[in-house]
A and B are shown apart, each in its own frame.
Chain A
Amino acid sequence: MTIIIKFFALGRELVGANELHVDLPEKASVHDALERLQTEHPKLAQLPSFLVALNAEYAERNATLKNGDELAIIPPVSGG
């Protein structure tokens, strides 16, 4: 299956892309996707912390992914 991973702010600059399409085995979790990401984009470790959103909602890292999901890496927010 393929998921889309979106990046914003410092995360986007570290990865050098707004989004990536990533192939993962069926029933992979958010955690699995993050492991893959950190292997392929070690610079992401420079983010002091981040949350994840699955299909535009904050999600836990043990959440199961399905084909077509949109996973977003959310660096510490600073709106307002």
Chain B
Amino acid sequence: MIDVQLSESPLDTAAIIASVQDERCGAVDVFIGTVRNQTKGKAVQRLEYEVYAPMALKVMREICAEAEERWNTIAIAAHHRYGVIETGDIAVVVSVSTPHRADAFAACQYIIDTLKERVPIWKKEFFDDGEVWVMPHA
């Protein structure tokens, strides 16, 4: 089972975790990405995420399918927020259930790492004195 979603409203981590639970599984791993209140010592007021929705969903699905092929997973959910997000809020949740824990850790890490490299989502940081598009892979 692969479930990818983009959401403008807050993510419900408990519901996402529950959605991957399965009696065949001995492990559920979850990654929760939250909005930091500073970047290189500079206070961040809020973030804004922009998304190319049809392509983002397609690429998220591809990445989850790659993880499913590589590790023994039962269910994978990856949900990403967009729009304005305040510091401390949750921007992304990835949850993976597997029969054994090593696969859950590995698949979850692969999905979040690859999502950050490949999915067409952009974040803008707003500071007291300006705003900047974040470009870690420029």
Contacts and interface: CB of A to CB of B under 8 A. Distances in A.
A24 B50 CA distance: 28
A58 to B, nearest CB: 8
**B interface: dominant SS:** mixed
Which of under 10, 10 to 19, 20 to 34, or 35 or more describes the interface residues of A? 10 to 19
A73 to B, nearest CB: 10
A5 interface: no
Interface in A33-61: 48-49, 53, 56-57
Interface residues on B, range: 20 to 34
A78 B118 CA distance: 9
Contact of B33 (A12, A49, A80): A80
Interface of A, helix, strand, loop or mixed by DSSP: loop
Contact of B120 (A10, A12, A49, A74): A74
* Ranked 9 nearest A-B pairs via Cβ: A79-B121, A9-B122, A56-B55, A80-B116, A48-B138, A78-B134, A76-B138, A76-B135, A10-B133
24 contacts: A8-B52, A8-B122, A9-B50, A9-B124, A10-B122, A48-B138, A49-B138, A53-B55, A57-B55, A72-B55, A72-B120, A74-B52, A76-B137, A77-B118, A77-B119, A77-B120, A78-B134, A79-B49, A79-B56, A79-B80, A79-B116, A80-B80, A80-B112, A80-B116
